[in-house]
Amino acid sequence: MIRMLTILTAALTAVMLTLTPPASAQSWTTPALGSDLRTDLLSAIRPHIEWALGAPIEFVVWEMRVKDDLAFASLWAQRPGGGEIDLHDTPAARYEMLDPTVGDGPTIQVLYRKSGRVWVAVHHAISATDVWYAWEPMCAIWQPVIPDTCAF
């Protein structure tokens, strides 16, 4: 039931973001499916998520935004082919880094910065229950890719 609610919430969020008219000041872009940029961003977060949730991981991209050397992604982690990840049976749960009874399942939010030619996953959260990046120090840097979050 919780998984179904999480999936429905994610689907509604994705639909709302799709139907929301773009802001006139919006200047971020979404990397195309299969593009090198999209692959580079997913590759930058993959080791962190595989370490926490166990390998192999496949991502469902809910949202990905890029502006210059900054990026944001909202993702869903699953096993290849769509297999569900049991958060109780992950390294993060075993090491008590993640409480599998709390949160929004294998959801992931990532803030990236490009360093030279490499994208770095600077901050990320798994199964967050709040918008942890809606914080002035984060907005001071990543506002170009999360302007809706930083409009306070």
In a domain, 23, yes or no: no
In a domain, 4, yes or no: no
Sign of CA dihedral 80, 9, 70, 85: negative
Asked whether the beta carbons of 124 and 109 are under 8 A apart, the reply is yes
In a domain, 94, yes or no: yes
Share of the chain above pLDDT 90, in %: 81
What pLDDT does 152 receive? Answer: 80
Q: Does residue 25 carry a pLDDT above 90?
A: no
Sequence-separated (6 or more) residues with CB below 8 Å from residue 106: 53, 76, 77, 78, 85, 87, 126, 127
Summarised one tens digit per residue, pLDDT across range 41-99 is 999 999 999 999 999 999 999 999 999 999 999 999 999 999 999 999 999 999 999 99
Tell me the whole-structure pTM to 2 decimals: 0.83
In a domain, 129, yes or no: yes
What pLDDT does 12 receive? Answer: 39
Mean pLDDT calculated for residue range 5-13: 42
In a domain, 70, yes or no: yes
Q: Does residue 24 carry a pLDDT above 70?
A: no
Residue 53 structural domain: 30-142
Mean pLDDT, all residues of the chain: 88
In a domain, 56, yes or no: yes
In a domain, 10, yes or no: no
Q: Does residue 7 carry a pLDDT above 70?
A: no
Q: What are phi and psi of 56, to 5 degrees?
A: -85, 155
What pLDDT does 26 receive? Answer: 72
Q: How far apart are CA 150 and CA 134, in angstroms?
A: 6
Q: Which of 65, 117, 60 is nearest to 85 (CA)?
A: 60
Domains in the chain, number: 1
